[in-house]
Amino acid sequence: MSNNKKTNHSKKKNTNPLLITAIAVGVLAIAIVFLVPEGKGTKLPGNIPDSSDTSNSTDTSDSANNSANSSDSTDSSIVSSEDAIPAVFNEEGDVVIQTADISETATFYTMDVEGTTVGLFALKASDGTIRTAFDTCQICNGSPYAFFIQQGDKFQCQNCGNIYSGDMIEQERGGCNPVPIMADEKKETDTEITIPLKLIKENADRFENWKKF
């Protein structure tokens, strides 16, 4: 009798562990279903969006598109000698600019002067006058990067980084700004601005290293 009791007692202690594990897993699964709110998943690491969160994905996409459009809008307002057109000459070899072609956005011109590429630009200032200048900096000329870009009404030297408003063009000599072509150095009528070839040749040495990167 004592042996049978020991055997039965031993059987009760050796309950199948797999059964206990299965029951525990089932209880945990039921708890997860009832305790985790619907539609809330585990947060993914870093900035990686949860692909199940479609609204967040849409917002991110819209934000990216808006940024791209903003960037395109800003870039389209930038002009420089990359947009230059060939200068037009009269019979004497002087550069002739039609005033009707000039606006607040500068028009850049390039020309060959005895093997040297020379650049200049013209724009209409806020007072309606047309300003002209060589496309190089009075201080930085000699550097390959001594040329200007326009964004809005601002001009920036690509060598020193100094910025000038369009209204400052052709206003002073000296200093780090575009080499001015002053009123007494050119001829201007209601329809044309004529810049003498002699003046262009006198300034051609400023362009010996211009944009030779």
DSSP 58-108: HHHHHHHHHHHHHHHHHHTTEEEGGG-EE--B-TTS-EEEEGGG--SSPEE
pLDDT over 60 (residue 42): no
Specify the DSSP class assigned to residue 49. P
Q: Is residue 126 part of a domain?
A: yes
- Model pLDDT for residues 188-201, shown as the tens digit of each residue: 999 999 999 999 99
The number of folded domains in the chain is 1
Supply the CATH number for residue 138's domain: 2.102.10
Token representation of residue 131: 């300003």
Q: Which of the listed ranges 38-52, 65-79, 132-146 does the model predict with the highest average pLDDT?
A: 132-146
Nearest to 208 by CA among 155, 146, 164: 146
Q: Which of 79-88, 124-133, 168-177 has the lowest mean pLDDT?
A: 168-177
CA 194 vs CA 53, 114, 199, 203: distances in Å = 64, 20, 11, 16
Residues sharing a CB contact under 8 Å with residue 165, sequence separation 6 or more, in sequence order: 153, 154, 155
Rg (CA), the chain: 38
Q: Is residue 95 part of a domain?
A: yes
Structural domain for 84, as ranges: 80-207
The SS3 call for residue 181 is coil
21 vs 161, more confident? 161
The predicted pLDDT at position 16 comes to 60
Q: Which of the listed ranges 73-87, 170-184, 192-206 does the model predict with the highest average pLDDT?
A: 192-206
Q: Is residue 66 part of a domain?
A: no
Burial 50-73 (b: 16+ CB within 10 A, else e): eeeeeeeeeeeeeeeeeeeeeeee
Q: Is residue 38 part of a domain?
A: no
Specify the DSSP class assigned to residue 95. E
Q: Is residue 133 part of a domain?
A: yes
CA torsion sign for 88, 93, 95, 99 is negative
Residues in the chain: 213
Token representation of residue 18: 């797999």
Residues 137 and 149 sit within 8 Å (Cβ to Cβ): no
Query: What amino acid occupies position 178?
Result: P
Average pLDDT over residues 92-98: 97
Q: Is residue 87 part of a domain?
A: yes
Q: Is residue 140 part of a domain?
A: yes
The SS3 call for residue 22 is helix
Token representation of residue 86: 């060939």
The predicted pLDDT at position 28 comes to 59
Q: Which of 9-23, 50-64, 162-176, 197-211 has the lowest mean pLDDT?
A: 50-64
Average pLDDT over residues 55-79: 48
Indicate the pLDDT class of residue 173, thresholds 50, 70 and 90: confident
Token representation of residue 67: 């940024």
Q: Is residue 19 part of a domain?
A: no
The answer to whether the predicted template modeling score (pTM) of the entire model surpasses 0.85 is no
CA torsion sign for 19, 24, 29, 34 is positive
